[in-house]
Amino acid sequence: MKLQIIQDSKGKATGVYIPINEWKELKRQYKVLGDLEAEVPIEKDQLLQELKEAIRELKLIEQGKLKARPIQALLDEL
């Protein structure tokens, strides 16, 4: 199995990447793993609302009415 450790900017392990074929094999062997998956599709309306909010915030930043966040804060949020 070829696992990859995901690390943050400080080198701290934050997660593990498992190739999808190996994940499928693990789920086949251990049925309970399938219960751990939480695929929550983003609804179209929700996505459009979030994009509108992002555009609104960008306009406020351009106008100097809102302070931009450092890129690291955005990446940490993801």
Radius of gyration over alpha carbons of the chain, in Å?
19
User: What is the extent of the structural domain holding 50?
Assistant: 42-78
- Mean pLDDT for 15-22 is 91
Model confidence over 23-45: pLDDT tens digits? 899 989 988 888 887 766 778 88
Total structural domains within the chain: 2
Residues 8 and 28 placed together within one structural domain of the fold: yes
Residues 46 and 35 placed together within one structural domain of the fold: no
Residues 76 and 63 placed together within one structural domain of the fold: yes
Long-range contacts of 53-62 (CB under 8 A, 24+ apart): none
pLDDT of residue 39: 67
d(CA 3, CA 58): 38
Residues 30 and 5 placed together within one structural domain of the fold: yes
Residues 1 and 32 placed together within one structural domain of the fold: yes
